[in-house]
Structure formats: C-alpha cells, structure tokens
Amino acid sequence: MICERDDFSLTGPLHLTSVDWANEHHRRSVAASLVQGIYVAERDRQLQREGPELALSPLWSEFFHFRLIRKLVDDADFSIFGGIYEYKPSSGTVKSQELSPRFVIAFRGTVNKADSISRDIELDIHIIKNGLHTTTRFEIAMQAVRNMVASVGCSNVWLAGHSLGASMALLTGKTVARTGVLPECFAFNPPFLSPPIERIKDKRIKHGIRIAGSVITAGLALAKKATQQVSQNHRALPAPPDQFAALSDWFPRLYVNPGDHLCSEFIGYFEHRNKMEEIGAGFVERLATQHSLGGLVMDVVSGGKNTEAPVHLIPTAVLTVNMSSSRDFKEAHGIHQWWREDKIFDTKIYQYK
C-alpha cells in the first residue's frame, strides 16, 4: 500500500506549474520538495519500489525539471541520506531563470524504518553531543559539497535539508562558508539543542531566563577564553581566527515552526540578541551567542578537544516562521508545511554585529 505522503500527485505542490525563481514561496517550495524526494528515494529503496512504474521519488524532482544524478549513500547501513539534483529546465517554463540553481544537494532527516532508524538515531545523538562533524556520513556529504562547488561555483549550488538533514546542510554550509564560499542554504526544522524556553507564555519570565542564561554562558566562555590565552602565550602561539565572525556574511535560510520544540528556539535565539543590544548588554550576548551551555560542558568533558561550535549557533540568518497553528508535533515538524499555500509565513533577517 502506497503511503499518501510519498505520492507527489496527492501531497506535492501541484500548483507550481511554472516556477518564478524570484518568488520566495516558489524557491522554498522547490527546495522542500527536493528534500522530500530524498525521503521518498530511501523509502523506495526499502520497499523495493524500482523502475518508472513503481518508484515514487522521481516525480518530486522531475515536476520542477530536476534530475537526481547521484545518490549519497551512508557507508554504515547503505541508506540513501542525500542526493545531488541537476536542473534541466524546458524553455519557457520558468521565470527569473538567472536566479535558479544548477545543482541542489539535499539531505533527508530521520526515517523511522528498520533499515535506517538505528543509524539515523546514532546521527541524531551525534548532534546532541556536538559530534556530527566527526561522522563518516558528514565526510561523504562534505566531499560531495566541496566537489560540486569546485566544479561549478557556489552561486550555482544550493544546499537543502530537513531536521537531521538540515543540520547536515548547515554544517556543510558553515564549513565552506569559512573559506569565503557562501552557498544558498535552505534548512527546514533545523534542530536547536536547548530547553524549550520559547514555549513559556509569560514574556517577562522568558526574557529573564534568557538573560540569566546569557550571563552564565558568557561567564563560562570568558573563563574558557582566558585559559586558552594562557596556553597560547605559554607556547607562543598566535590567537586563532574568530570562526563565528567569519560566518557573518553567510545568510542561511532557516524555516521553523513555534509548535516544533526541536527548532523553535531559533526564534528566541535571534530575538533575544536584538533585545540584549537594546538594553545595552550587547557585549554579553555577542559572547553568549557563540556558545551554548551544553557545548561548554561537552568541551570540558572532551578536555577541550572538540573545537567545532554546535551546528545551531550561527551569526546571521534569514528566519522564516510558520505562523499558522499546527494540530500536533508531527505536523509542526513535517516537511510538507513548507510548500502549503494556506500557511502564513513571517520572514526576518538577522545580522551579527
């Protein structure tokens, strides 16, 4: 029996018969559909839906004139976790074609099926432990991104992902962005590892908790920095470059739902930064925003060996929030919401100063 969510003719954005690449809704919808295509490609593999008559994944890309030219396969469980799409439009079918990508590298999130769930949960735990960058799946993804950017240039490559895949898209994007390469990145429901402060209704309490958290985080970060400086001075080493500030010109697009506690903290993360600037505590927040309490604790546990900042800590972003109510967590976390026409979206740009 075919699952309705896999069938493009039932749940896909059929209204996008002509894509205007200058239209944010169109761009978001296509990127989300290509990510869904990777989900379906993995379910096609598991259910042995092969060939043009059975496979459901091709229509999620071919409807928009994309072709899946390479599947990214995990070396542990051989599941399809990503893919590289090539754009081959027909003449007269699109608008603002100069703004379209030539290639899109898309990553799926966790698939709750026996053939993939174990490995996917292992990767989810690596995100919690701030160790996604140490996994072989990341190495496979990173090599694909580097090769594609080197071949066709970053302006021709988009990155896209959902949930676990959003973390993969952000981490690969951050890695190349530090070298001055700034790819377009579409991260749907990206995990933000933090207590669900955003769910607190009282704004004063919520703001007070965030201020306290910023002060504590900034204090621990200063202590860590002082320890590092002593070590560097002792060994006569130059100060390391500011990796956080190096990303300030990269504007990944984040798509979050307030009803999804896995990603909703991005809303408070950026809004709190602005509020701290307003009350004259910008210095504290500029330091706190680069660190997380969990990351600082993990750094102590690892003996300072983990130098990679948590994936969710980014200086700048284009943040889009789904303002429409969701029935439950499953709907709030789902990929399908991001191409729906009946949803209300609010978009803000946050830039690190």
User: What is the distance between the alpha carbons of residues 253 and 296, in angstroms, rounded to a whole number?
Assistant: 26
Residue 97 lies in a domain: yes
**Domain total for the chain?**
1
Q: How far is CA 210 from CA 121, 206, 276, 285, in A?
A: 29, 6, 10, 10
Residue 259 lies in a domain: no
Residue 55 lies in a domain: yes
User: What is the distance between the alpha carbons of residues 271 and 79, in angstroms, rounded to a whole number?
Assistant: 38
Residue 96 lies in a domain: yes
Residue 11 lies in a domain: yes
Residue 330 lies in a domain: no
Provide the residue count of the chain.
353
pLDDT in tens, the chain (353 residues): 578 899 999 999 999 999 999 999 999 999 999 999 999 999 999 999 998 889 999 999 999 999 999 999 999 999 999 999 999 987 655 567 788 999 999 999 999 988 899 999 999 999 998 999 999 999 999 999 999 999 999 989 999 999 999 999 999 999 999 999 999 999 999 999 877 777 777 777 776 677 666 667 666 666 666 555 555 455 555 545 677 888 989 999 999 999 999 999 999 889 887 777 766 665 666 666 766 655 555 555 555 555 677 898 999 999 999 999 999 999 999 999 999 999 999 999 998 87
- What lies within 8 Å, CB to CB, of 104 at 6+ separation is 31, 34, 66, 84, 85, 87, 157, 158, 159, 160
- What lies within 8 Å, CB to CB, of 150 at 6+ separation is none
pLDDT for position 213: 64
Residue 203 lies in a domain: no
* Domain span including residue 110: 4-188
Residue 311 lies in a domain: no
Element (H, E) at 309: none
Phi/psi of residue 303, each to 5°? 70, 25
Enter the pTM of the model. Answer: 0.88
pLDDT for position 244: 82
pLDDT for position 193: 82
pLDDT for position 108: 98
